[in-house]
Structure 1
């Protein structure tokens, strides 16, 4: 089985590529190696993959329409997992076009390639952020997602809508995965747990927004990857009846969306205390008000994932944070 993984130098893409290679699959990875965070970390992830048999890498940007088209014309893929995207919420306030170019235009380029090649299954990364201003928790796939509160969230919702359209028009099997606050070894330096760890070890203050009164459904990377692999190997046969498709009641698209979260939101202050225990050092807190684009709570209902695949993330935050801190201290010495 040959799988195209976009964003292979990224956090989730790296872990997925490594798992697929361990399972004996061929992985063709692409990434633009942008400077949103340290390129050295991305190259170090790739260095873990490149010696492995069955792995091929090409530096390529999703927004390169000709390059993506040529890729699909030259390489036969059984499956595509699209994890490449411009991440982050606060960054979008200063760099909106980056999100449109990568997350919308780039995603359409991938969809066109899948259409050209009649791909057997496209799995794409959505986000818990699509639930936006929802106050009903836990978030379920059938809940409304038309009130995003950040541009990043809006692009992820756009991905879901455009993907459904392609699936409907061309009968292309597609599955969107709404990830909930993924963390773990080789993680992203822009994430709170990563920045908190660096600051605590350095004896610097950490910025704690909304005075710590927020909850996140922190989901360990190994659980995310297990979910992605199970979904990837099971293309949808018909439209997901759990979604709100009232505007297209006659749609028979082979299309699904799933939450992948730990189903157990953690208070931000609990995360900090867990980090303090793992590091063996107290944090200096700089309490700040809520930032634009943030939400108070993320909380995944994973009943659909559990029913369809017999799996739900369950790694306790204490276990996952210990593994992350051990990796961090080893990597940064």
Structure 2
């Protein structure tokens, strides 16, 4: 089994799905001849040609809008937006059209499309290149939101997303693109959307984190009896795995790099408060980014949740 980083794993998933199903097409800025801004689609233009790997104009609304039309009429488009901060121009296409086409047409049409985009801070790029606004899209009924945390699950989740009958926003943690290598098998395997995994078993406190924050949490919890949950799919969220863990540990810490207010951690906390409050031994603690725009490179290490802040939250909740 080959050791791959996340870029290589996603590229392999795209290549294998395109070879398996000729309805799968790629589109986006520079995805063809240049192989994408992070070279995720490198080599696919040469292998599958310009009719299936399509370089588009610089128009996010047009990219997603074209993908919606392609999907409605039988293709399986995978659209790339270069950074999550650029997707806001396509918000209308996602929310007004992709998310609603199944209900609007009473099931006559669906939109089996994937929108891939790098997201998250830590690469010290300018503004709009380090956004983590996943909660916006979790508030869109009809759109699934998926976040891999490593190369192995990136490939399996992307294959599942491409085969899903409805739109999927596939958020790729930019910091992890080349940071971590894992064994990734060639050939077909999928991971179910909507199902979390226990990244680390434990009994004293449940910690939920996704994307690049999972790697940070895994280091921070060394020495603690902490159970770490990697949701992998943020919408629909796997509440069963979360509640089973909290009922066992009695404590919950949620870590995300998005701003604290109305971040997904608030929804997770509300779910536990509603469904498992009698099992809680202490307060639910959220460790998140501050409610400010993502800063420039000099301050980014102060913006992101640090291992020290995560450990402080663990120490606080374990006092109860």
**For the superposition of Structure 1 and Structure 2, which TM-score range results when normalised by the shorter chain?**
0.3 to 0.5
| TM-score using structure 1 length | 0.37
| TM-score using structure 2 length | 0.38
Of Structure 1 and Structure 2, the greater helix share is in: 1
